[in-house]
């Protein structure tokens, strides 16, 4: 469960996120969409506790992220668009390190099936430098899933993946959501929203333009027309410009 | 076409200079430039201006401090060194000729209607900027080596001849070796051929010298002058002068003691340079494939350097066995120690530390039994003292297996369920362990090897107490020192990012590094003052009542407590800063 109330993020005089409030329940997948510079990544980074919000409250799995960040972070996982890995740690060593950070007892019992599910078990002793972009992404996912998070944030999860990798990533997100995880993802790819997201939140210049289920948002911007594509909905909602 | 290439080179050069000048608008670069320029002035220009003759005008060449009769020997020695470098250039390479182009140059120039010869010429002109800069810097740093005679100008031009001719020679050699490779002569066959030729020449020369010259006698080593005279006879007899002659032509301008000699040396040097130039331009071998591979490697290296990843840049990363087994549960800070130890050399392990300590202990006690080995003790003590000073002053700059190396992974570190101080503590554990180990070993050497006869008050029991007292002080002191560069990375990440990028050059970068080292020293001195002052006062007051060893022991405990408190405060403050840290905002221009 994610509860966001009055989230504001300022960089000096520039306000990147303005008074944002929304709730995502277990099993829901919320897609954050908007033109470039809309504040999607900033919002995700605030929700994941990477950057402090200027104002507002964020509750992750019932824990206040500002008051008790350690407890809140135990329940979440953040997957950046570019997998950030440690150059000197093999796949297996990455999992051992993350297990110790999160205190995952007997992590080998969890890690092995996870590596097999993500099809990188045969790369367990390789360094990130020896892995392809897709394999690195899988390793980052394995690290994020090791502590069984109930809340997940994906920033542009399909970046750099091949068609098979895209299919697997979508399946993986849906699988976790069906298992009861709360998922928020940001993407420019509207087909990803159609296939994976149950809810959508459209941002423009840091402000919420619309949110709700895909059907609700589509109905709001369809102006009574039938068969309006999601792309058209997005363009109508955002005014067709970045500014 | 060549005009376009020249335009590319000159425009790139002009834009580089302009961007360097423009960035002086930022205070960090301006202050760095001022400090760097001041350093250069104090270290080199002032010395040259004060102690060296003027470059031009009457009295341009001062008295030659090297005896004139030694100059031919030095010239021959210089030529011999150059010849050895040239021979190595024919032995070591094992790849096809590949001129170094940037990725952009390859993308634009390789598909363009440009002749191969024009590309070679372009590379030759390109390399001149670096060669001229290197020649100028060597001349500046060596203070123009006025003892050889000549002037800064003649030495600068002399260096240019040496470097430019070597550059041409290596390029020509790489083309020739590629041609050999195309004709089925593998690198090993070529090496055997070159080594065989070198051995043959050496044998003939030795035989000649054996026949014509006498073996060196003790009298030849009585003084520097007699040794030089014998060496001169060796180098100017038999076939050696002929062998060395082309190389002597190249180094001739550098060794010229005055202007007439310099002008006379220019002709032969230019002749060798021109012959090399013709040789290279006439060498038509395919270098494109190797150049592309080289360029890709270079681009990856630059990307790694920009991320501050030096091991990746040197291509030396390989999976290692961890220093210890990491349990799944326990203090999370230990995970950082475990992780960061994996990023360093495998010698930094507990087993190595214990083994070295045992070797030093046994060796120190063994040497102590034999008075004849006092020299070894003195040498070892001097080495240990040097290690202590080096580790204390430069250790925190060199052991960077901490937050500085993980700066770009900040986003991930911040998602971990840890307080900021826990991350910072975990991050500094590895450099603390490395630096402490080196200091402990050096202190052990000092404890065992230093002669204490002149210091009667330094009794064995007091030495032991001081040694034991320093054991816990060392890691706390190292931690305190490491807080400074880590704090800098957190407080001024943009600066730290630039400092990490060792490919960034220029006077302003030198100045920035100097400011940083000076700042670190000031902070450390200020942090040490309360502990050191308190300890000194305590020992001074209490030594008459409780005895010196006991006073030192208690004072050492106080120093540890004081420094530990400072470290804890520092970690807490850094942790607070880390929790509010936003790298993307900090690096925003």
Whether the predicted pLDDT of B421 surpasses 60? yes
Task: Please tell me if residue A73 touches chain B, with a CB cutoff of 8 Å.
Answer: yes
pLDDT above 70 coverage of chain A, percent: 98
With contacts defined as CB-CB under 8 Å, which chain A residues touch B585? 11, 51
Specify whether the CB–CB gap between B178 and B190 falls below 8 A: no
Check residues B66 and B533 and name the one with the higher pLDDT.
Answer: B533
Identify which has the larger pLDDT, B95 or B478.
Answer: B478
List, in sequence order, every residue forming a beta bridge with A212; answer none if it has no partner: A200
* E runs forming strands in B78-156: none
The larger pLDDT score, comparing residue A199 to residue B179, is at A199
Q: For the residues B335-351, what does the mean pLDDT come to?
A: 90
User: Over chain B, what is the mean pLDDT?
Assistant: 82
Structure tokens at B535: 């300890």
Instruction: Look at phi and psi of residue B428 and say left if phi exceeds 0, alpha if psi is from -120 to 50, else beta.
Output: alpha
> Is-contact A155 A41, C-beta < 8 A?
yes
Mutation target vs B (from A51, A66, A123, A141; most B CBs, 10 A cutoff): A51
Per-residue pLDDT band for B416 (boundaries 50, 70, 90) equals very high
What tokens does B150 get?
A: 């000549």
What are the CA-CA distances from residue B60 to residues B150, B160, B251 (Å)? 9, 20, 21
What are the boundaries of each domain within chain B?
52-288, 320-586
Q: How far is it, in rounded angstroms, from Cα B479 to Cα B476?
A: 5
The pLDDT of residue B449: 82
User: Does pLDDT of A202 surpass 60?
Assistant: yes
Interface contact B589, partner A, CB < 8 A: no
Q: Which CATH architecture has domain A1-75+152-243?
A: 3-Layer(aba) Sandwich (3.40)
Reported ipTM: the value is 0.89
Residue B94 has pLDDT above 90, yes or no: no
For residue B306, give how far its alpha carbon lies from the nearest alpha carbon of chain A (Å): 14
A162 touches chain B (CB under 8 A): no
Q: Mutate which of B311, B316, B336, B415 to test chain A, going by most A C-beta atoms within 10 A?
A: B415
DSSP string, B151-199: -HHHHHHHHHHHHHHHHHHHHHHHHHHHHHHHTT--HHHHHHHHHHHHH
Instruction: Name the residue with higher pLDDT: B19 or B557.
Output: B557
pLDDT score, position B54? 44
Q: What is the pLDDT of residues B492-507, one digit of tens each?
A: 776 665 555 555 566 6
Residue of B320, B405, B414 best to disrupt the A interface, most CBs of A under 10 A? B414
Q: Quick check: A101 and B332 CB within 8 A?
A: yes
**Is the minimum CB–CB distance between B306 and chain A shorter than 8 Å?**
no
B89-103, B217-231, B357-371 — which one is most confidently predicted on average?
Answer: B357-371
Q: Where are the CATH 3.40.50.300 domain residues in chain A? A: 1-75+152-243
Q: Which residues contact A108 (CB under 8 A, 6 or more apart)?
A: none
pLDDT band at B589 (very low <50, low <70, confident <90, very high): very low
Q: Cβ separation of A52 and B579 shorter than 8 Å? A: yes
User: Please, which pLDDT band fits residue B65 given cuts at 50, 70 and 90?
Assistant: low
Rounded to a whole number of angstroms, the distance from the CA of B236 to the nearest CA of chain A is: 55
Give me the total of CB pairs closer than 8 Å, taking one residue from chain A and one from chain B. Answer: 105
> What pLDDT was estimated at residue B427?
95
Higher pLDDT, B209 or B507: B209
Given an 8 Å threshold on Cβ–Cβ distance, is A100 in contact with B327?
yes
Point out the least confidently predicted range of A65-69, A92-96, A173-177, B207-211.
Answer: B207-211
pLDDT of residue A192: 82
Percent of the residues in chain B that have a pLDDT greater than 70, as a whole number: 85
Q: What is the pLDDT of residue B144?
A: 58
User: What pLDDT does residue B430 have?
Assistant: 96
How far apart CA B518 and CA B104 sit, in angstroms, is 39
Report whether pLDDT(B60) > 50: no
Per-residue model confidence (pLDDT) at position B56:
45
Task: Report the pLDDT value the prediction gives residue A124, as an integer from 0 to 100.
Answer: 92
């Amino acid at each position: 469960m994610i509860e966001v109330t009055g989230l504001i993020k300022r960089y000096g005089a520039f306000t990147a996120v303005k008074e944002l409030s929304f709730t995502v329940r277990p099993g829901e997948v919320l897609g954050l969409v908007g033109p470039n510079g809309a504040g999607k990544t900033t919002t995700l980074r605030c929700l994941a506790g990477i950057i402090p919000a200027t104002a507002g409250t964020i509750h992750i799995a019932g824990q206040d992220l500002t008051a008790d960040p350690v407890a809140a972070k135990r329940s979440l996982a953040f997957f950046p668009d570019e997998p950030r890995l440690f150059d000197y740690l093999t796949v297996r060593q990455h999992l051992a390190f993350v297990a110790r950070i999160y205190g995952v007892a007997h992590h080998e019992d969890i890690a092995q099936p996870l590596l097999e599910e993500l099809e990188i078990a045969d790369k367990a002793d390789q360094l990130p430098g020896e892995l392809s972009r897709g394999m690195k992404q899988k390793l980052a996912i394995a690290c994020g899933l090791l502590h069984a998070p109930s809340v997940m944030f994906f920033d542009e999860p399909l970046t750099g993946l091949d068609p098979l990798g895209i299919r697997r990533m979508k399946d993986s997100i849906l699988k976790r959501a069906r298992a009861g995880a709360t998922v928020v993802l940001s993407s420019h790819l509207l087909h990803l929203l159609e296939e994976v997201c149950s809810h959508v939140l459209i941002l423009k210049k840091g402000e919420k333009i619309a949110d709700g289920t895909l059907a609700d948002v589509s109905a709001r911007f369809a102006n009574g027309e039938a068969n309006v594509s999601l792309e058209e909905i997005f363009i109508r909602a955002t005014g067709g410009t970045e500014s | 076409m060549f005009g376009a290439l020249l335009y590319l080179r000159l425009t790139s050069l002009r834009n580089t200079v302009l961007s360097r000048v423009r960035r002086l608008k930022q205070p960090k670069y301006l202050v760095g430039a001022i400090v760097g320029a001041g350093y250069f002035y104090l270290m080199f220009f002032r010395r040259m201006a004060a102690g060296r003759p003027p470059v031009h005008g009457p009295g341009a060449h001062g008295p030659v401090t090297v005896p004139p009769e030694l100059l031919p020997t030095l010239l021959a020695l210089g030529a011999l060194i150059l010849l050895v470098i040239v021979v190595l250039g024919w032995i070591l390479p094992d790849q096809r000729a590949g001129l170094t182009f940037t990725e952009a140059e390859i993308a634009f120039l390789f598909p363009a209607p440009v002749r191969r010869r024009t590309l070679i010429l372009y590379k030759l002109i390109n390399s001149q900027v670096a060669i001229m800069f290197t020649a100028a810097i060597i001349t500046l740093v060596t203070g123009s080596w006025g003892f050889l005679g000549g002037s800064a100008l003649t030495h600068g031009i002399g260096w240019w001849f040496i470097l430019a001719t070597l550059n041409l020679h290596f390029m020509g050699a790489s083309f020739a070796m590629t041609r050999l490779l195309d004709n089925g002569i593998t690198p090993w066959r070529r090496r055997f051929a070159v080594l065989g030729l070198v051995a043959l020449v050496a044998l003939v020369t030795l035989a000649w010298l054996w026949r014509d010259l006498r073996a060196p006698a003790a009298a030849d080593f009585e003084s520097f002058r007699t040794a030089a005279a014998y060496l001169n006879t060796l180098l100017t007899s038999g076939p050696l002068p002929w062998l060395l002659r082309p190389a002597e032509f190249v180094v001739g301008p550098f060794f010229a003691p005055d202007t007439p000699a310099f002008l006379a040396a220019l002709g032969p040097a230019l002749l060798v340079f021109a012959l090399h130039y013709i040789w290279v331009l006439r060498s038509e071998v395919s270098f494109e494939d190797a150049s592309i591979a080289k360029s890709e490697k270079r681009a990856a290296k630059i990307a790694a350097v920009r991320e501050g990843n030096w091991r990746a840049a040197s291509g030396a990363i390989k999976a290692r066995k961890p220093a210890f087994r990491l349990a799944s549960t326990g203090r999370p800070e230990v995970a950082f120690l475990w992780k960061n130890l994996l990023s360093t050399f495998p010698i930094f392990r507990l087993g190595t530390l214990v083994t070295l300590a045992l070797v030093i202990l046994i060796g120190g006690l063994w040497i102590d039994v034999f008075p004849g080995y006092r020299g070894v003790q003195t040498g070892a003590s001097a080495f240990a003292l040097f290690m202590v000073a080096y580790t204390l002053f430069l250790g925190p700059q060199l052991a960077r297996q901490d937050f500085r190396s993980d700066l770009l992974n900040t986003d991930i570190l911040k998602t971990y369920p840890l307080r900021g101080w826990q991350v910072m503590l975990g991050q500094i554990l590895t450099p603390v362990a490395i630096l402490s180990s080196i200091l402990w070993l050096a202190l052990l050497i000092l404890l065992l090897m230093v002669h204490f006869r002149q210091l009667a008050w330094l009794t064995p029991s007091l030495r032991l107490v001081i040694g034991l007292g320093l054991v816990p002080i060392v890691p706390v002191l190292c931690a305190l020192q490491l807080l400074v560069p880590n704090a800098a990375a957190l407080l001024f990440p943009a600066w730290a990012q630039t400092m990490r990028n060792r490919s960034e050059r220029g006077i302003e970068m030198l100045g920035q590094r100097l400011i940083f080292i000076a700042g670190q020293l000031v902070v450390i001195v200020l942090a040490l003052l309360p502990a050191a002052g308190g300890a000194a006062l305590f020992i001074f007051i209490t030594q008459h009542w409780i005895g010196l060893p006991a006073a030192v022991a208690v004072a050492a405990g106080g120093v540890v407590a004081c420094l530990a408190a400072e470290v804890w405060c520092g970690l807490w403050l850094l942790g607070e800063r880390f929790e509010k840290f936003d790298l993307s905002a900090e690096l925003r221009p």
